[in-house]
């Protein structure tokens, strides 16, 4: 290896926002993460929604809670020219 061209490699403690910490090595002196395998929904099976400023509610008001069955009923009603029945 050539001298003087490689970055410094530090032993650091990585910290997640959920509080999990672990030791690793990095070219950064500090590692602060927003999400890790201990709190990620894919790995835990739990969903954690962070609703900032009501964005989820605003989306639901604008587009509604649509499902595949709702869309199929609307398409069928559009073909026949009738109003779709409420699926609630």
Among 19-23, 27-31, 33-37, 48-52, the minimum mean pLDDT is found in 48-52
How do the domains of the chain map onto residue ranges?
A: 10-79
How confident is the model over 8-32, as a mean pLDDT? Answer: 90
The length of the chain in residues reads: 88
Fold of 10-79: Rhinovirus 14, subunit 4 (4.10.80)
Question: φ and ψ at 12, to 5 degrees?
Answer: -125, 165
Q: Is the pTM of this model over 0.75?
A: no
What the block records as the tokens of 55 is 């964005």
Kindly report, residue by residue over 32-41, the tens digit of the pLDDT. 888 887 787 6
Closest CA to 26 of 9, 38, 39: 9
What is the C-alpha separation between 34 and 51, in angstroms, rounded? 15
pLDDT reading at 67 higher than 90? no
């Amino acid at each position: 290896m050539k001298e003087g061209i490689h970055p410094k490699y530090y032993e650091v403690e990585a910290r997640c926002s959920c509080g999990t910490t672990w030791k690793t090595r990095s070219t950064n002196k500090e590692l602060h993460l927003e999400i890790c395998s201990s709190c990620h929904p894919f790995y835990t099976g739990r969903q954690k929604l962070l609703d900032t400023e009501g964005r989820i509610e605003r989306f639901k008001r604008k587009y509604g809670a649509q499902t595949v069955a709702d869309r199929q009923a609307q398409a069928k009603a559009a073909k026949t020219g009738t109003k779709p029945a409420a699926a609630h």
